[in-house]
Amino acid sequence: MSAHAPQARFASHEVTNQPPEFGGLNLFLGDPALREAALREGGTWVEAPLAALGQDMGSDEVMELGEAANRHPPELTAFDRYGRRIDEVRYHPAYHALMELAMRHRIHAIAWDTGRPGGHVAHAAMLALATQAEAGTMCPISMTYAAVPALRRQPDLAATWVPRIVQGRYDPTLRRIADKAGVTLGMAMTEKQGGSDVRANTTAARPLGAGGPGMTYELTGHKWFCSAPMSDAFLTLAQTAEGLSCFLVPRITPDGGRNAIHLMRLKDKLGNRANASAEIEYHGAWASMVGPEGHGIETIIDMVHHTRLDTMASTLGLMRMALAQAAHHARHRRAFQKRLVDHAVMRGVLADLALDYEAAVVLVMRVARAFDAAEGPERVFARLAVAVGKYWLCKRAPSFVAKCMECLGGAGYIEDSMLPRLYREAPLNGIWEGAGNVIALDVLRTLAREPLARAAFRSEIAAAKGGNAILDATMAGLEASLSHANEAQARLVAERLALVLQGALLVRHAPAFVAEAFCATRLGGESGRSYGTLPPGVAIEPVLARIIDGTYPS
């Protein structure tokens, strides 16, 4: 938040040539690329909720909350003063304020409670907007959103929990679900010995009675990563006589007692500091089975599928805020008798970054629209495209944010600016819900095993045929290369699929100058290997106009 009338004149010097504070903005209405794509893919109804959220998230007050929530990270309180276990995480008030704001705007629920097509588009755009102010709180918001389809595999549990999600408001108190105004959910899958290989999990589930779907169990074991450990319940995996199964583990049991979920320690993470992540142990924890016994991965994959969409949306938000900070600085800082933005070399950097952002926007919003389909080609397209999109966007984000930081020079490297926080956050989505190799192999398996998904992807890019000669040539070469792809080429395949899909979407939907510049530099090989190496002939001026003149005002 801007300080009142800061003193700029001193005996030694006067403070000049500094940009004004960045804030007091509508993050949605000031972003033409996101606004166009969200309305196109989601429908005109999404504008009102997105504009309202954009206004709140771009305010000075919320920007300050984001800073405070990261400056004062959560703390574990395992025991009370008398030595009794309470296993609680204490958060700064800024965290709670941000969670309340997010749930008041229905980020976690808008995909499920509108009854209109475009709900997942609205959700993804909202997540991108909220991430710009603070990313850590979007982890519990995302998992709460993503838990709904997994819970619906167990109708009796869904009848109790889903209304508390969809209709609920933020209620951080630990109470029985019947007494809560709203709930949040988390996920706990990985264990020390297996990591991504969850089939190696050893947590054991003992039935308390007959057993089976919807029945209660007692869990004993550990989980290496449990993000947002103060959630009201967690979807988790444990072994039964029939194999790996999915369970819902509440923090408070139906009789009102604390469940036997012990928080062993909080992770000391590179970024995502406002959000707690813990190592936990189940010491005979009470749980209900979700879905068929022995089909735990199949059940929980619904949640994973939706959180993968959110890794894309959150990455989009990080990219946008980093680019906005770079553009804001370049517009107001002067060097060598000119504004930074008036130097040709800086214009090339900003335009190059803008092309990646434009391509990220159309990709995220298109994939989100596919999530609205209950079945058919859109549904199988979502299965492949979300993995392709997650792989590529999450790979681009760290270098993208680093280049934006460089645009500010030394001022961008200090903690007083937002860029260090964005930079620490940038690698996370490339790890969460599957690191690069896992996702690339998933892409390869889907291509091989799901011909309908491959056909739907082919149909999507074919719709752009004839719109750009470079894209047409790349599409032809892609089809040939896919037929000979093997595991060693998985990452290359995922990258090529993503770039072709981005190019096709830009050709169909973006201004021609954006699509032509992207295809020439990302598909045609005319560009260098770092940002700011656009070749002669690329029309950077109209590209810049969308992020400099057509975006947030001075």
387-398 pLDDT tens trace: 999 999 999 999
Q: Give pLDDT < 50 ranges for the chain.
A: 554
Domain end point (choices 398, 429, 460): 429
d(CA 237, CA 249): 10
Helices (H), 279-417: 296-332, 344-371, 377-407
Number of folded domains that form the chain:
3
Whole-prediction pTM? 0.96
Any idea what DSSP says for residue 521?
I
> What secondary structure letter does DSSP report for 135?
S
Residue 438 lies in a domain: no
- Residue 3 forms part of a structural domain: no
Question: Looking at the structure, do residues 116 and 136 belong to the same domain, yes or no?
Answer: yes
Q: State the CATH number of the domain containing residue 226.
A: 2.40.110.20
**Based on the domain organization, do 459 and 366 belong to the same domain?**
no
Same domain, 252 and 116: no
| pLDDT for position 547 | 82
Burial 395-430 (b: 16+ CB within 10 A, else e): bbbbebbbbbbebbeeebeeeebbbbbbbbbbbbbb
Same domain, 156 and 281: yes
What is the rounded distance in angstroms from the CA atom of residue 452 to the CA atom of residue 462?
A: 15
Report the distance separating Cα 420 and Cα 120, nearest Å.
30
**Cα–Cα distance, 135 to 421 (Å, whole number):** 9
- The token duo for 138 is 């979007």
CB atoms within 10 A of CB 392: 28
User: Distance between CA 309 and CA 367 in Å, rounded?
Assistant: 8
3-class SS of residue 377: helix
Query: Where do runs of H (alpha helix) occur along 117-154?
Result: 119-133, 138-151
Give domain status of residue 445, yes or no.
no
Cβ atoms of residues 184 and 172 within 8 Å: no
- Note the pLDDT of residue 506: 98
Domain limits for position 499: 451-549
Q: Identify the CA nearest to 29 among candidates 12, 53, 54.
A: 54
| Positive or negative torsion for Cα 488, 490, 492, 496 | positive
Q: Map tokens 């937002």 to a residue.
A: 418
**What pLDDT, on the 0 to 100 scale, is given for residue 549?**
67
Look up the CATH number of the domain holding residue 31: 1.20.140.10
Q: Is residue 85 part of a domain?
A: no
441 lies in some domain: no
Return the pLDDT at 2: 65
Same domain membership, residue 157 and residue 290: yes
Q: Is 132 exposed, middle or buried (0-12, 13-18, 19+ CB in 10 A)?
A: buried
**What is the per-residue pLDDT across 335-356, written as a single tens digit (0 to 9) for each?**
999 999 999 999 999 999 999 9
